[in-house]
Structure 1
């Protein structure tokens, strides 16, 4: 398995992972909109943002996530890594890929000098919560969102 920044050609595969957590979505069936194109280009151009993909030996995207490195004055001025949109292909779950994906992105953040890795997870994703607990994440804060 290789963890690396996503390429533009892999955008449909990433969007397919984000489209449905419970089933495999064919990337060829995904519509890549101009808004997706702009967002991907903005992320790719920003040194503090990455869309990372986990790719198997057949070059199949089996996992993805977005990580944003946030500078801050707390923690001695160190960056923190915010992880979002963590997905593993539905037919590849249960074999340790999620754990491997998270282990690698945490190591990447640590190598960058981040003092903290944080994430949020929808309250309905109880399996994901157990997974993050098993990785050592602490439920230390309540999150709030305001849709605009």
Structure 2
């Protein structure tokens, strides 16, 4: 296994993981549109954002089997330390149950700690009860109620 920052070459594989949580999507079938290109370029250019991948094999040729996005948020709370926001956590459907998600999260939390973050936070859709159990097993606590307001429909 290899854990690293995603490159543009990984974008189809990351989008394939995000496209369907329950099925394996062939990255070769993914059309990378202009909006995804812009979003990835913005993340890559921003020191407070990163897409991380877990690959089966060595970079850059390893198959992407997991991903997540980390965003570092400055704040006045937590003694002025940043907090890390974890988003878009995915492990390829045919590789679940191998402990890869836990390893991916462990590595992300360690990365946030090395950066000096005061906490790591995430949100999860209320319907994803298995994901909630997973995060709780990793030590995450249900400490807040989250609210979202969609600006697109």
Q: TM-score, normalised by structure 1?
A: 0.99
Please give the residue correspondences for 1:24-63 in structure 2 after superposition, counting only pairs within 5 Å: 24-57=24-57, 59-63=62-66
Structure 1 moving runs of 4+ over 3 Å: none
What SS does the corresponding residue of 1:52 show, helix, strand or coil? strand
Tell me what 2:118 maps to: 115
Tell me what 2:13 maps to: 13
Tell me what 1:75 maps to: 78
d(CA) in 2 for partners of 1:2 and 1:107? 15
Identify unmatched segments of 5+ residues in structure 2.
none
Pair 1:106-2:109 in alignment = yes
What SS does the corresponding residue of 1:4 show, helix, strand or coil? strand
> How much is the aligned-residue C-alpha RMSD, in angstroms?
0.7
Please give the residue correspondences for 1:114-133 in structure 2 after superposition, counting only pairs within 5 Å: 114-133=117-136
d(CA) in 2 for partners of 1:110 and 1:7? 23
Pair 1:85-2:88 in alignment = yes
d(CA) in 2 for partners of 1:85 and 1:137? 16
Larger deviation: 56-65 or 34-43? 56-65
Identify unmatched segments of 5+ residues in structure 1.
none
Deviation, structure 1 residue 16: 0.1
Tell me what 2:4 maps to: 4
d(CA) in 2 for partners of 1:73 and 1:2? 34
Cα deviation code 1:80-105 (max 9, x no counterpart): 00000000000000010000000000
Tell me what 1:147 maps to: 150
Cα deviation code 1:16-37 (max 9, x no counterpart): 0000010100001111000000
d(CA) in 2 for partners of 1:32 and 1:125? 27
Paired residue total: 148
